[in-house]
Amino acid sequence: MSILEQAKQHIFEKVVALVGNDSLINDIIVDYPPEAAWGDLSIACFVLAKLNKQSPVELAKQLAGQISADEVIGQVQAVGPYLNFFLKPEYLNQAVAESLDGRAGYSQEPIDERIMIEYSNINTHKEYHIGHLRNICYGDAVAKILAANGYRVDKVSYVNDFGIHAAKTLWQFKKNQRAVGEGYILGHLYTAASQALETDADGKQAVAEIMKQIEARSGEDYKLWQETRRWSIDYFDSIYQRLKIKFDQIYYENEVIDDGRELVSKLLKQGVLQESQGAVIADLEQYGLGVLVLLRSDGTALYPVADLALAAKKFTKTKLSRSIYVVDNRQSLYFQQLFKVLELAGFQTKLVHLPYDFVRLPEGMMSSRSGRVITFEEVYEEAKSKARLEITKRHSDWSESKIDQAAEIITIGVLKFEMIKVGADKIITFDLNEALRFDGFTAVYLQYVVARINSLLKKGHAKLSGQLPLELLTESKERELMLALAKFASVVKEAGRRYEPSILAKYLFDTSRLFNDYYQSTTIIQADAAKQTARLALAAAVARVLTNGLEILGIETLAEM
């Protein structure tokens, strides 16, 4: 338990003892005051006062007069209906020592729950664009945050390699009659096919015939599908390697579709599914979820067939407490329907859909069919080129390999951070020039602050072992920083509870700004020996928290920039 959590528990117990009514315990919530100047921690007395038949202002004032300072609490004040607490400076100093721990932010108490999180559910034979990037970065950050909170996390991906999109791409490929050999070019063929097929009835029939061969797993088109599928998978793997994202398991639609048909047949006999005009459906009208079609009247399968089979495979293979699906918000109704069918089929694993909104360009929305997208390659190459230019300007003495290594870390950090720095429910307008700024809400800014602190520690020859004179950290900005450090573990917990990496990203940015303000206004290296040691320890604690926080988000830092 972190020092801030211990302080909350200490205050909670004090107030519980004074209230003396067990029925009110759940209404005593130790949180942060509405205004930072009011205190470090606070209890809003609205509900507590109502149940106690007092006014909130009177109750706050009464409790403030009954609680004395101790080894944790330095001062207690009532401000209107809020009971506010200032932590004792000596107690708060512990935040520095706690943050210097290499495992700061990571739970030391394993939770006996296993969570599977499924993300990067992509289609072969298509481009990998920045919309896909949001999915994989968001999903991976959530997985890492849950792991940091002590959960056992299985990271899996599900690849749709068996759909009509593949047949469309092969149709265009055969028209072009040229060897491609690279997965990303298949996306261009898919776009061309989508546009051409809007007015080509014969082409649509040809695509249907290609799809039949793929589903039958025979013929020349099936062999071509196998070859081009491998191009796509190798292409995706190369992107995962650049992003340094690894999955514990990757599932493919073609591997579960047959099991899905068997499961559909079984659920049809059980009455979970129904026949309707030759199709197989799940009638979910009584649950307010409409109708979900699984098999068309011609017998061809839709997405739910494979999804049901995959869920059954995951749940029987692994004992899970939760199964999380990271898929964009257009699929919200679909996942409600899928989860209801799984529930009716007898599966009891807790199911969670994590929706997220779109990535758009400054000039408008993207579309694979229209070809109006920014591919991963395009944005990666442009970002790395700009990063290299900036590094070269700052470090003309660096070798090419060192510049390239730094540019790579910065580029991947930029791409990941832009995808997770805002809430999942918000649209991202991706602007690369803004993302590469050293002075904004960017990964580059956070990486730069860490590098600046590393340079400061090197310059000060900091030796931060043994007893540190932390009692000398008495400035108001030092207190602000220590309180921010004390919040780190709680922020990681809250980000995990809400599946929201942006909470952690915002915290890291705010903490970085606090340090920069402190750095600009405070003498550190030129201070006397004892005070220099204390301030360098504070700086090192900030660097450790920023480094660990970025690591939890999947972003690397640099020793110098």
pLDDT tens profile 191-224: 899 999 999 999 999 999 999 999 899 999 999 9
For residue 23, pLDDT beyond 80: no
| Tokens coding 309 | 């089979």
Measured distance CA(503)–CA(415) in Å, rounded: 18
pLDDT of residue 27: 80
Question: What integer pLDDT is reported at residue 48 of this predicted model?
Answer: 87
pLDDT per position as a tens digit, 81-93: 999 999 999 999 9
The per-residue pLDDT for 64 is 97
Calculate the dihedral angle through the C-alpha atoms of 63, 64, 66, 68, rounding to the nearest 10 degrees: 140
CA-nearest of 343, 353, 350 to 272 is 343
DSSP 367: B
Which residue is listed with tokens 């602190």? Answer: 453
Structure confidence at residue 368 (pLDDT) = 52
pLDDT at 178: 64
Q: What is the DSSP string of 84-141?
A: EEEEPHHHHTHHHHHHHSTTTTS-SS--S-EEEEE----BTTS--BHHHHHHHHHHHH
Q: How far apart are CA 412 and CA 557, in angstroms?
A: 11
Averaged over 319-347, what is the pLDDT?
97
Segment 246-252 mean pLDDT: 97
Percent of the chain with pLDDT over 70: 97
Give residue 43's pLDDT: 97
Enter the pTM of the model: 0.94
CB 92 within 8 A of CB 486: yes
The third-level CATH classification (topology) of the domain covering 3-92 is Gyrase A; domain 2 (3.30.1360)
Among residues 336, 340, 332, 280, the alpha carbon closest in space to that of 305 is found at: 280
pLDDT in tens, 485-539: 999 999 999 999 999 999 999 999 999 999 999 999 999 999 999 999 999 999 9
CA pair distance 140, 151, nearest whole angstrom: 14
Between CA 474 and CA 481, with CA 478 as vertex, the angle to 5 degrees is 145
pLDDT of residue 20: 75
> What does the pLDDT read at residue 1?
86
CATH of domain 114-360: 3.40.50.620
| Residue 260 Rama label (left phi>0; alpha psi -120 to 50; beta) | alpha
Residue range 327-342: mean pLDDT, rounded: 97
Task: Give me the mean pLDDT over the 549-557 stretch.
Answer: 98
Distances (CA, A) of 103 to 106, 148, 232, 238: 5, 9, 38, 30
- Is the pLDDT confidence value at 248 over 70? yes
Q: What is the pLDDT of residues 106-130, one digit of tens each?
A: 999 999 999 999 999 999 999 898 8
β-pairing verdict for 359-361 and 428-429: parallel
Six token digits for residue 371: 């070809």
Is the pLDDT at 369 greater than 60? The verdict is: no
For the purposes of burial, counting CB atoms within 10 Å of the CB of 108, is it exposed (0-12), middle (13-18) or buried (19 or more)?
exposed
Query: Mean pLDDT throughout 27-53?
Result: 91
Architecture of the 383-552 domain: Orthogonal Bundle (1.10)
Quick one: three-class SS letters along 104-119?
CCCCCCCCCCEEEEEC
Domain with CATH 3.30.1360.70 in the chain: 3-92
Residue 450: is its pLDDT beyond 70? yes
50-54, 67-71, 139-143, 389-393: segment of lowest average pLDDT:
50-54
Cβ partners under 8 Å of residue 55, min gap 6: 49
Residue of higher predicted confidence among 384 and 373 = 384
Q: Start-end ranges of CATH 1.10.730.10 in the chain?
A: 383-552
**Is the pLDDT assigned to residue 397 strictly greater than 60?**
yes
Across the beta sheet with 30-31, what order do the strands follow?
30-31, 41-44, 82-87, 73-79
Mean pLDDT across 266-274: 97
Mean per-residue pLDDT of the chain: 93
* Whether residue 363 has pLDDT greater than 90: no
What is the pLDDT at residue 367? 54
The DSSP result for 507-537, as a single string, is HHHHHHHHHHHHHHHS--TTS-HHHHHHHHH
The residues of the chain that CATH labels 3.40.50.620 are: 114-360
